[in-house]
Amino acid sequence: MRFTSKLLRGRLIRRYKRFMADVELDDGGTVTAHCANPGAMLGLKEPGSVVCLSRTDNPKRKLRYSWELVEVDLGGGPARVGINTAHPNRLVEEAIHAGIIAELTGYSSLRREVRYGENSRIDFLLEADGRRPCYVEVKNVHLMRQPGLAEFPDSVTTRGAKHLRELARITGQDMRAVMLYLVQRDDATRFALAADLDPAYTEQFIKARARGVEALSYCCKLSLTDIQVAHRIDHSL
């Protein structure tokens, strides 16, 4: 996924009201950017952090800047983290079409936002003649508290637990169910659940796995021009 405009660098002044961030750009100007991330963003919203913004000329947009990346250092050198939660589904779709996610290859049809379960929509439904339909739910990951170890979630997510219950139900209907954790960091080498931050999610995950729900974790490569799904990483799930 390529950014549609050149990213602008600056320093974070503050993130507030969940979806807004004030940034001092390198040219000295100050702007308010949209933060497309409703999560806690632990370790990613510290004042003074180097951030990168995209800009749009769309007159319908109230805020013309969007917060895309933040630079962090947990001791292994600077790393880029993607904080825009609007991107993961597009990144995964591109990766599926490109054959990067080996476990999801071999399907001739990909549909997005298909209704299923109890008033839910699956991120992707993959289908092909002679194969079980494959339901894929994507979760954005950016939390890291230990060098190299990406974790999910970064706060309590009742919606995420609901998705696990929905996936677990369809495994009993001759369907394939996959939970895909996409790590928008270029310093992640492994993945785990943050059980201390949301024990209920972890409990539901264990139940879903016992019912046959698959779990995949992939990391990304991030630059000032694009974000790409890179490769699968180890997980202790």
**Domain CATH number, residue 115:** 3.40.1350.60
Q: Containing domain of residue 77, as a range?
A: 8-82
Where among 27, 48, 82 does a domain terminate? 82
Arithmetic mean of pLDDT, 205-218 = 97
pLDDT at residue 172, rounded to an integer: 82
Does residue 227 share a domain with residue 115? yes
Residue 176 has pLDDT above 80, yes or no: yes
* Token output for 185: 């960091």
Q: How many domains does the chain have?
A: 2
In degrees, rounded to 5, the angle at the alpha carbon of residue 138 between the alpha carbons of residues 50 and 10 is 10
Name the percent of the chain lying above pLDDT 90: 88
Q: Are residues 14 and 60 in the same domain?
A: yes
Q: What is the pLDDT of residues 94-133, one digit of tens each?
A: 999 999 999 999 999 999 999 998 888 999 999 999 999 9
Give 136's pLDDT tier (boundaries 50, 70, 90): very high
Select from 82, 117, 133 the last residue of a domain: 82
d(CA 2, CA 226): 4
Checking if the pLDDT of 61 tops 90, the result is no
Residue 191 in tokens: 């993945």
Domain shared by 129 and 25, yes or no = no
> 3-state DSSP call for residue 26?
coil
Give the whole-angstrom CA distance, residue 226 versus residue 59.
24
* Same-domain status, 65 and 129: no
Is pLDDT at 84 greater than 80 in this prediction? yes
Mean confidence (pLDDT) of the chain = 95
Tell me if 2 is assigned to some domain.
no
pLDDT classification of 55: cutoffs 50, 70, 90: very high
Judgement on whether residues 93 and 209 belong to the same structural domain of the protein = yes
Do residue 178 and residue 222 come from a single domain?
A: yes
Tens digits of residue pLDDT in 150-163 = 999 999 999 999 99
Mean pLDDT of 216-226: 96
CA distances from 91 to 70, 136, 146, 148 (A): 18, 13, 25, 21
Same domain, 164 and 93: yes
Residue 67 belongs to some domain of the structure: yes
- Mean pLDDT in residue range 23-47: 95
Rg over alpha carbons for the chain, rounded to the nearest Å, is 18
Last residue of a domain, one of 53, 82, 111: 82
Looking at the structure, do residues 73 and 98 belong to the same domain, yes or no? Answer: no
- Report the CATH number at residue 21: 2.40.50.580
pTM value is 0.94
Q: Looking at the structure, do residues 145 and 73 belong to the same domain, yes or no?
A: no
- Quick one: tokens of 210? 């016992």
Q: Is the pLDDT of residue 145 over 90?
A: yes
70 shares a domain with 111: no
